Amino acid sequence: MYGYIGKRLLAVIPVLLGLSLVIFIIMHLIPGNQATAMLGAYATPENVARLNAELGLNQPLPMQYFIWLNNIVHGNLGYSYTLNQPVLNAVMQRFGNTLILAIAALMLCTFWGLLAGVISAIRQYSWTDRIVTLLILTGISLPSFWLGLILILVFAVDLHWLPTSGMYEVYGGGGLLDLLRHLLLPAFTLAVGATTVIARLTRSNMLEVLRQDYIRTARANGLSESRVVYRHAFRAAIVNVIPVIGVQAGFVLGGAVYIETVFQWPGIGRLLVTAIESRDILLVQGGVLVVASSYVLFNLGADILQNILDPRVRA
C-alpha cells in the first residue's frame, strides 16, 4: 500500500507543474503590461520600470516562469499591492473560510447523495424511486447561482429565517450558531449539483451489487434485509463512489468561487473577484494556483482512500 501511495504522490508532481505552467501562460496572455495594470493608468514610467525589474518582467518568458516557480517552492507567491501584504498571507486568510463552506457542502452532498442513491436502488421502480429520480433531474437542471438567489428571496427576504449574506452578523455575532445560520443557504446551494451526481452513481452501483450471487446467498442464509443492504451491498458499492466524491470535492471547491459572490461569503472566491476588478495579477495568479492545487490534492486523497478500502485498485 505504501508503494502505491508513493507512486501516486510522485504522479502528482508533474500534474502540479503542468498546472502552474498553464496558469502562468494564461496570466501572461492578458493584454498589456502587468506592472502598468497593477500600478494603474497614472503610474509613472519610473515606477513601472522599477516594478518590472522587481517582478522580473523584463526577463525572457521562460526565465520569468522559472523565477515564479522557484518563488512558489520557497513559499513566495508575490506581493499584493492592492492589499499591501504578501499574496500567500491574503490567500490563506480567505482560504480557511472557503474550506469551511466547501467542507459543509461536501458533507451535505455526500450524506444526501448516498442516502438517496441507496433508497432509490432498494426501491427500484417504486414511487419512491421515481420521486428521487425526479429530484435528481431537477437538481441537475437548476443553475446554482439562480437557486442561491431564489433561496435568499424565500428564506431570508420573505420568511426572515436565515441571514441574506456574510459569514457572521455585523453586530453581536461571531459564535458557532451564528456561523451555522449564515452557512446553511450557501452550503445547501453548493451541494445540490454534487448531490445529484453522487446519488445517481450510488444507485447504479447498488443495483449492480444487489444482483450479485453473494447477495443472493446472504439472503438465502437468512440474513435480515437491512444487514444485506447496509453491511454487504453498501460497503461494496461505496468503493466505486469514493473517487467521484473526490472529484465532486474539487468541483465544490471551484463552485464556491461564484457562490461566495452570490452570498457575499468572505472566502477566496470573493478575493479573486476583487483581485480581478483591481487587476492585481499576482493575487489572481496565486489564488487560482491554490484553488487548482487543492482540487488535485482532493482527488489524490480520494484515490488513496479508495485504495485503502479496496486493495484490488492497486493491481
**pLDDT tens readout for residues 189-240:** 999 988 999 999 999 999 998 888 888 888 888 888 888 888 888 888 888 8
pLDDT at 215: 86
The mean pLDDT of 106-127, rounded to a whole number, is 91
Would you place residue 41 in the very low, low, confident or very high pLDDT band (cuts 50, 70, 90)?
low
Q: What's the total number of domains in the chain?
A: 2
Higher model confidence: residue 274 or residue 315? Answer: 274
Do 191 and 111 sit in the same domain of this protein?
yes
Do 96 and 220 sit in the same domain of this protein?
yes
Do 45 and 115 sit in the same domain of this protein?
no
- Asked if the model's pLDDT at residue 87 lies above 80, the reply is yes
Q: Report the range out of 182-186, 233-237, 304-308 with the highest average pLDDT.
A: 182-186
- Residue 304, in any domain of the structure: yes
Q: Give the domain extent around 246.
A: 88-314
- Residue 61, in any domain of the structure: yes
pLDDT at 153: 93
- Residue 64, in any domain of the structure: yes
Would you place residue 247 in the very low, low, confident or very high pLDDT band (cuts 50, 70, 90)?
confident
pLDDT at 276: 84
Q: Where a domain ends, among 55, 76, 97?
A: 76
- Residue 163, in any domain of the structure: yes
Do 20 and 140 sit in the same domain of this protein?
no
- Is 0.95 topped by the overall pTM? no
- Asked if the model's pLDDT at residue 312 lies above 70, the reply is no
Do 237 and 128 sit in the same domain of this protein?
yes
Q: CATH number for the domain including 289?
A: 1.10.3720.10
Do 92 and 226 sit in the same domain of this protein?
yes
- Residue 82, in any domain of the structure: no
Would you place residue 173 in the very low, low, confident or very high pLDDT band (cuts 50, 70, 90)?
low
Tens digit of pLDDT for each residue in 261-274?
Answer: 889 899 888 888 88
Do 48 and 197 sit in the same domain of this protein?
no
Would you place residue 144 in the very low, low, confident or very high pLDDT band (cuts 50, 70, 90)?
confident
Do 135 and 272 sit in the same domain of this protein?
yes
Higher model confidence: residue 41 or residue 50? Answer: 50
pLDDT at 199: 93
Q: Where a domain ends, among 33, 52, 76?
A: 76
- Residue 108, in any domain of the structure: yes
Do 33 and 108 sit in the same domain of this protein?
no
Amino acid, single-letter form, for residue 126: S
- Residue 81, in any domain of the structure: no
The mean pLDDT of 122-149, rounded to a whole number, is 88
Do 230 and 94 sit in the same domain of this protein?
yes
Do 41 and 116 sit in the same domain of this protein?
no
- Residue 83, in any domain of the structure: no
pLDDT at 313: 59
Do 115 and 260 sit in the same domain of this protein?
yes
- Asked if the model's pLDDT at residue 297 lies above 70, the reply is yes
